[in-house]
Structure 1
Amino acid sequence: MRTVTVVGHRGDPYRVRENTVGSVRSAVARGADAVEVDVRLTRDGVPVLLHDDTLKRLWGVDRPLDRLTLAEVRRLTGPAGVPTLAEALAAAGGHRLMLDLPGATEASVRAIVGTVRECGAAERVYYCSGAAAMLLVRAADPAAEIALTWTTLAPPRPVLLDAVAPRWLNYRFGLVGRALADRVHRDGLLVAAWTADTRRSMRRLILSGADSITTNRVDALASVLRRGKEHRT
């Protein structure tokens, strides 16, 4: 029987502020198999969880992350604020983290991959982003598991697939249908979809053959999958 991986988008953001330790823990508690988080570097080179390049949207502080040290980030966002990647890995326990790398550079990717290794977490981490970032990940870690984010129905060129060597192709959920999933599977890859939040879209993706679904509503997706399993038995 095919298994669909439930991925919490930035944790469990409808209940707990996104990209925080509390959000990671909430997603896991509500049935996530993995949690997608965004990772950037502070000015002193520490990987932390933040999607935007400033603290303004989430924390009300209009300061660029790359101009702040970790100590300054702690002071500005408080004890339950922006966590380090190492703290998020600890919070996830045995569950997987899917690391999205907005604003990736060679230096940031090296630091992020290095932190994963230092935490002994290489087996429970995989990476997602566009081609440029994933090429940097592949160079930093030849064994890394990669979900290459792809935003068109046209397939990636073979030369790119050879260079990135992804395990997954990661699509916006509206692009995923049976024909696309069948083609990706014929190529020996898995289909990941983001970010589906209605039960209708979740069911459509499951029927289309998606192998992983990223959602802001982990409990809803877990419920859809559970009911589908019950109907089959």
Structure 2
Amino acid sequence: MSAVTVVGHRGDPYRVRENTLASIRSAYGRGADAVEIDVRLTRDGVPVLLHDDTLKRLWGVDRPLAHLTLAEVRELTGAEGVPTLQDALLAAGERRVMIDLPGATGESVRTIVGTVHDCGARDRVYYCSSGAAMLLVRAADPGAEIALTWTTLAPPRPALLDAVAPRWLNYRFGLVSRALTDRVHQDGLLVSAWTADTRRTMRRLIASGVDAITTNRVDTLSDVLKGTRT
């Protein structure tokens, strides 16, 4: 059986607050091959890790990130709070990082891609999001590795595939079947599935031939994969 890439969803969020350096380190420590993070810009244009557009859910502060400078974010979330993308890439070391781009704009994508390049991380970073966001990534970096997030069983239009040139198609786990993975593989692409948290779902995805699974339970997926290899 071919190897399946284990991707920690926002780090290791069932143990440590998502999209923090501690969560990233925990995910790698429990067996993740890659960690998925969400990146947005502060008001002063610094890429930081946050899925939502406000600090309310994670940090109890009902303030939009786009209205806050990095200094204000640090004041509101503390020294171990919202990290910058640069900090996250340093914490990842030489390991793989998958960057999701909620709220992507041309400006934000250019800044994020530029930060990845400045950190010397281009060869270990790949990007996931909608077609519109991935077109922005492709414009910013013609050589970027892309996982095009797709939410329907209908295949992407050939024109979109040609423009985005993804390496992966990234599906919600409920859509994935052996027939789908076979079709995508025949087209020369890899299949990534998100976000699988039960052993039953993980085993089904592995049996379906996926190449990567994003999960909130990295240690559980690692254990399941060890069982399939014995």
TM-score by length of 1: 0.98
Matching residue of 1:214? 214
Q: Are 2:161 and 1:133 equivalent residues in the alignment?
A: no
* Aligned counterpart, 2:122: 122
Specify the alignment match of 1:16 in structure 2: 16
Equivalent residue letter for 1:53? D
- 1:171 is aligned to 171
2:93 aligned with 1:86? no
Aligned to 1:99: 99
Cα distance in structure 1, aligned partners of 2:156 and 2:3: 25
Secondary structure of the corresponding residue to residue 32 of structure 1 = coil
Work out the CA distance in 2 between the residues paired with 1:57 and 1:187.
40
What is the root-mean-square deviation of aligned Cα atoms in Å? 0.4
Per the alignment, residue 64 of structure 1 pairs with 64
Aligned to 2:36: 36
CA-to-aligned-CA distance 1:143-192 (integer Å, 9 cap, x gap):
00000000000000100000000000000000000000000000000000
Q: Which residue of 1 aligns with 2:26?
A: 26
Q: Counterparts of 1:131 and 1:137 in 2: how far apart (Å)?
A: 10
1:156 is paired with a residue whose SS is coil
Distance 1:177 1:28 in 2: 28
The unaligned stretches of length 5 or more in structure 2 are: none
1:110-130 deviations in whole A, cap 9, x for unaligned? 000000000000011000000
State the number of aligned residues: 230
**Is 1:195–2:198 an aligned residue pair?**
no
Instruction: Give the 3-state SS of the residue equivalent to 1:28 in structure 2.
Output: helix
Aligned to 1:62, what secondary structure does the other structure show?
strand
TM-score (norm 2): 0.99
For structure 1, list consecutive stretches of 5 or more residues without a partner in the other structure.
none
Question: Which residue type is aligned with residue 136 of structure 2?
Answer: L
